[in-house]
Amino acid sequence: MASRRKRAGVRPAAGTAARAAHATVRGSGEPPDHEQRLRALARERTRVGLALTAAVFVTYFGFIGAVAYAREALGALVVPGLSVGILAGALVIVASWLLTWVYVRWANDRYDPALRALGGR
Amino acid sequence: MPVNEAVTTIGQPSAIAMGFFFLFISITLGITYWAARRTSTTEQFYAAGRSITAAQNGFALAGDYMSAASFLGIAGLVSTTGFDGLIYSTGWLVGWPVVLFLIAEPLRNLGRYTFSDVVALRFRQTPVRIAAATGTLATVVLYLIAQMVGAGGLIKLMFGLSYEQAVVVVGCAMIAYVLFGGMIATTWVQIVKAVLLLAGAAILALMVLMRFGMSPTALFAAAAERYGAGVLAPGKLVSSPLDALSLGLALMFGTAGLPHILMRFYTVPDARAARTSVFYATGLIGLFYLMTFILGFGAMVLVGPDTIRAVDAGGNMAAPLLAELLGGTPFLGFIAAVAFATILAVVAGLTLSGAAALSHDLWVSVVRGGHAESGEQLAVARLATIGLGVVAIALGITFKGQNVAFMVSLAFAIAASGNFPALVLSIFWSRCSTAGAVSSMVFGTLATLVLIVVSPTVQVDLLGNASAWFPLKNPALVTIPLSFAVGVIVSLASPERGAAERFAVLERRLHLGAADE
């Protein structure tokens, strides 16, 4: 507890950064205190992480499900040589890239500025 | 011993392959000498002084992760089964986004050297450290056996060394990297390997595509024309959907519980660099698995499944045979050296994380109660490195000729069931208790081991029995949910006030980082 007060005291949040952090707390009228803002940020991070994990999960196991239960559909050709299955496999890899990109954008644009406002590095 | 001498020189000692091999050994030992002079503290030995950049760590993660199984194994599987092999190409990648979303940054902010640091943070040290180190060692040893046995067989095929010589050479090189150069040498060996592997695969893929007017679809069409449209569609590899689901779960969540991968996040300066490094790693690994599509179908069309199976029944020589066909003996030598580098980088990472579990988690945290001088910690870590290396060589020779491919998926299943649930519960759930975390790890590890013994993998494939008591080849579908359930139920049954109170400190540090670094 002592170290927390010291940290907050040594590094007061800068005005603009504090507003950025505040923006991550939804529906709060009064500027919430340091502790509550960190809680809210922690909840938001967990939500984003779990939502994106669910997205990867659905993508990959959707693919596996199709392999198991929709063999014929996956064997159909999109163009000569390219079956739906091969395209879908490549798209699972592309989707993994896109989802990691989405997370990194969120973390760099929203999470990091909010952290800096709370005295993080 | 080449089965078909007209087709390949694989199996005969090749001056060019030996040349590349000695070049790689000299370069990596040079790196080790350079790294050894920068390795005098535990932070340098375990975490490369936290001086690795995000891009460097991205390559090193890729080098740590992509094993010979992914290069030779998947190319071989695609070349002999077509589409079915691609199921593995995607499965080996999808754990990486999960590592990024849930694990990488909290791990960097909460721990120092091992993933046990994070699990143990708000709990009683001794039981948690012992359980986490056991999970780590089980994963590492199984993975090491699979790599050593694979290495012995491959090097025997490619360089004409005897199996035992090959295992000893791999073991000695890996001991040298880790013992003298610690994490700094291991990191750079992994970076060199990742560059070599990606470059080798890219050159090979380009040479294949040049034969087909630079069009992957023309290549796939040629495969379908020659071997039937079935090679582009799901075949009989996934005969049981539950088996596919279970293996997929092990690959996805096992990646997020592999100790040698998790350890790499301590080598970067901060959580942001850890995040960026996983982004790079996902890009590189995904690119590599996309190229395995081309390599596999290229080998199918240009070399032919029958020739591939004739040289090695498992299909592992598909990529080397393709290299020889397209680039002659010199390119075969290069690809052989790449395969060798691939194995060395993985076993070095495994040995280092095993040594960290023995010295940092067991000796320093349990035996010494967290108080040991830097010099003593380093000495124990180096002793553990030698011990693990000798054990790996001995096990590699013991398991000669055994079918150990299943041990890789077993290692992933233990990482997914023994390590991952406890890691997630301890980071994200305030009511998790010491007893809950420990029982989740012990249960996950033991249940996985027991179920694999009674599974068709061991009973039918290995022992030749007609049937097995447990229906799934990989137990992850059962053990991951149960391991979470055990952690939750035991935690609720044994509330721990201190652990709950310290969760606020953990949550703060998870986001803001440790102030004392």
Q: How far is A12 from chain B (nearest CA, A)?
A: 14
Report whether B268 contacts B55 (CB < 8 A): no
Q: What is the mean pLDDT of residues B171-190?
A: 96
CA separation for the pair B143, B210 (Å, rounded): 37
Question: What is the ipTM metric for this complex?
Answer: 0.92
What pLDDT sits at residue A15?
A: 39
Which chain B residues are Cβ-neighbours of A120 within 8 angstroms?
Answer: 511-513
CA separation for the pair B461, B459 (Å, rounded): 6
Q: How far is B160 from chain A (nearest CA, A)?
A: 37
What pLDDT sits at residue B286?
A: 96
Q: What is the pLDDT of residues B278-291, one digit of tens each?
A: 999 999 999 999 99
Averaged pLDDT score across all residues of chain B: 91
Select the more confidently predicted residue: B64 or B88: B64
Tell whether the model's pLDDT for residue B456 goes beyond 90. no
CA separation for the pair B411, B67 (Å, rounded): 13
Tokens, residue A52: 């994106």
Report whether B64 contacts B259 (CB < 8 A): no
What pLDDT sits at residue B202?
A: 96
What pLDDT sits at residue A120?
A: 57
A 10 A CB-CB count for B25 gives 17
**Run of H or E including A79:** strand A77-79
- Beta bridge partner(s), residue A79: A82
Tell whether the model's pLDDT for residue B361 goes beyond 70. yes
Q: Do B93 and A93 touch (CB under 8 A)?
A: yes
Give me the residue from A52, A64, A96 closest to B248, CB to CB: A64
CA separation for the pair B236, A109 (Å, rounded): 46
Long-range contacts of B478-481 (CB under 8 A, 24+ apart): B478/B246, B478/B447, B478/B451, B479/B413, B479/B416, B479/B417, B479/B444, B479/B447, B479/B448, B479/B451, B480/B249, B480/B250, B480/B253, B480/B416, B480/B417, B480/B420, B480/B421, B480/B444
Alpha-helix runs per DSSP H in chain A? 2-10, 15-23, 34-69, 71-75, 84-106, 112-117
CA separation for the pair A40, B173 (Å, rounded): 49
Q: Which of residues 187-216 of B touch A (CB under 8 A)?
A: 216
What pLDDT sits at residue B244?
A: 85
Q: Coil, strand, or helix at residue A2? A: helix
Q: Percentage of chain B with pLDDT > 70?
A: 97
For every residue of B431-476, DSSP letters joined together read T--HHHHHHHHHHHHHHHHHHHHTSHIIIIIIT--S--SS--SSTH
Q: How far is A46 from chain B (nearest CA, A)?
A: 8
Tokens, residue A81: 């040589």
Q: Do B83 and A86 touch (CB under 8 A)?
A: yes
How is chain B split into domains, by residue range?
Answer: 36-327+337-401
Q: Report the residue of chain B nearest A71, measured CA to CA.
A: B234
Q: Do B512 and A46 touch (CB under 8 A)?
A: no
Give me the residue from B102, B241, B286 closest to A93, CB to CB: B286
Give me the residue from B216, B245, B511 closest to A41, CB to CB: B511
Q: Over its length of 121 residues, how does chain A's per-residue pLDDT go in tens digits?
A: 334 333 333 333 333 444 444 444 444 444 457 788 888 998 999 999 999 999 999 999 999 999 888 888 999 999 988 999 999 999 999 999 999 999 999 999 999 999 888 875 4
Q: Do A75 and B229 touch (CB under 8 A)?
A: yes
CA separation for the pair B508, B332 (Å, rounded): 53
Q: Coil, strand, or helix at residue B40? A: coil
Q: What is the mean pLDDT of residues B118-136?
A: 94
CB burial of residue B218 (10 Å; 0-12, 13-18, 19+): middle
Q: Is A73 on the interface with B (CB under 8 A)?
A: no
CA separation for the pair B383, B402 (Å, rounded): 29
What pLDDT sits at residue B465?
A: 86
Greatest mean pLDDT among A107-121, B53-67, B459-473:
B53-67
Q: Report the residue of chain A nearest B289, measured CA to CA.
A: A93
Q: To the nearest 5 percent, what fractions of chain B are helix, strand and coil?
A: 80, 0, 20
A 10 A CB-CB count for B126 gives 15
Nearest CA to B102 out of B459, B416, B407 is that of B416
Q: How far is B217 from chain A (nearest CA, A)?
A: 5
What pLDDT sits at residue A17?
A: 42
pTM: 0.91
Tell whether the model's pLDDT for residue B14 goes beyond 90. no
A 10 A CB-CB count for B337 gives 24
Q: Which of residues 8-37 of A touch B (CB under 8 A)?
A: none
Tokens, residue B432: 């998790």
Q: Read off the pLDDT band of B461 (50, 70, 90).
A: confident
Q: Is A69 on the interface with B (CB under 8 A)?
A: yes
Q: What is the pLDDT of residues B250-283, one digit of tens each?
A: 999 999 999 999 999 999 999 999 999 999 999 9
Nearest CA to A79 out of B224, B295, B289 is that of B224
Q: What is the pLDDT of residues B409-438, one digit of tens each?
A: 899 999 999 999 999 999 999 999 999 999
Q: Is A91 on the interface with B (CB under 8 A)?
A: no
What pLDDT sits at residue A6?
A: 37
Nearest CA to B389 out of B156, B178, B149, B188 is that of B178
Give me the residue from A64, A69, A100 closest to B97, CB to CB: A100
Give me the residue from A42, A83, A103 closest to B507, CB to CB: A42
Report whether B103 contacts B256 (CB < 8 A): yes
Tell whether the model's pLDDT for residue B1 goes beyond 60. no
The domain B36-327+337-401 is placed in CATH, from the list 1.20.1730.10, 1.20.59.10, 1.10.10.10, 3.90.850.10, at: 1.20.1730.10
Report whether B439 contacts B433 (CB < 8 A): no
Side chain identity, residue B496: E
Q: Is A115 on the interface with B (CB under 8 A)?
A: yes
Give me the residue from B275, B289, B293 closest to A104, CB to CB: B275
Burial call A85-117: b when 16+ CB within 10 Å, e when fewer: bbebbbebbebbbebbebbbebbeebbbbbbbb
Side chain identity, residue B212: F
Tell whether the model's pLDDT for residue B110 goes beyond 50. yes
Q: Do B289 and A59 touch (CB under 8 A)?
A: no
Residues with Cβ within 8 Å of residue A64, at least 6 apart in sequence: B87, B238, B241, B244, B245, B248
Tell whether the model's pLDDT for residue B374 goes beyond 70. yes
